Structure 1
Amino acid sequence: MIDVQWRAAPAEPQPQHARLVTEPNLAQPDDVYESLLEMHRDLSDAQSQAANAQLILLLANHIGDTAVLRQAMALARAAVPPAVPGPQADAAVPIPVPA
């Protein structure tokens, strides 16, 4: 028996010129931030990481444009400061908030 996994085709083709929006684009940013905090309320660190991963995958699927996702990944990676050797190496990294 052959194991075949089907993947749904995107609903619409994405434009080749799509770009990542980095300017503030939320109608109610404070509400979104509060919702993110609420999503993590009463979760362990491991559960929070799992919730973040699930949210990332859901939003990536919603965006559906690989080029835009790669732009976002590159910017997110570049925003992370280099690791500092020592006991603080795994300390929480502050998340920059767009102005």
Structure 2
Amino acid sequence: MLETKANFSRPDETYALLIKSHEGLTEAESHAMNARLILILMNHIGDHATIAEALALARNTVEKHA
């Protein structure tokens, strides 16, 4: 089952690290980095069902806010 509640040990620092990692990148480079990060984390998770659930949740959230 996908964990959807906040699960960060240091949420503010983690978010700041994500933002800092994009500093100095063009928009295209930033999108490429995000895509690569997603693939790295998907590989880390490894489980197809969990990844499919996460993708569906992300897609549904975007559609509801569009």
TM-score (norm. length: structure 2): 0.92
Residue 68 of structure 1 aligns with an amino acid whose one-letter code is: T
Report the identity percentage. Answer: 47
Deviation at 1:22, TM superposition (A): 0.3
Residue 50 of structure 1 aligns with an amino acid whose one-letter code is: A
Q: After the TM superposition, which parts of structure 1 deviate over 2 Å for at least 4 consecutive aligned residues?
A: none
1:65 aligns with 47
Distance in 1, matches of 2:26 and 2:61, equals 25
1:43 aligns with 25
Deviations along 1:22-67, one digit per CA (max 9) or x if unpaired, are 0111110011100100111111110000000000000000000110
Deviation at 1:79, TM superposition (A): 1.1
Which of 7, 16, 26 is the aligned partner of 2:8? 26
* Bigger radius of gyration among the two: 1
TM-score (norm. length: structure 1): 0.62
Distance in 1, matches of 2:24 and 2:61, equals 27
- Listed as ranges, the gaps of 5+ residues in structure 1 are 1-18, 83-99
Cα-Cα RMSD: 0.8
Residue 56 of structure 1 aligns with an amino acid whose one-letter code is: I
Aligned residues: 64
Distance in 1, matches of 2:43 and 2:13, equals 23
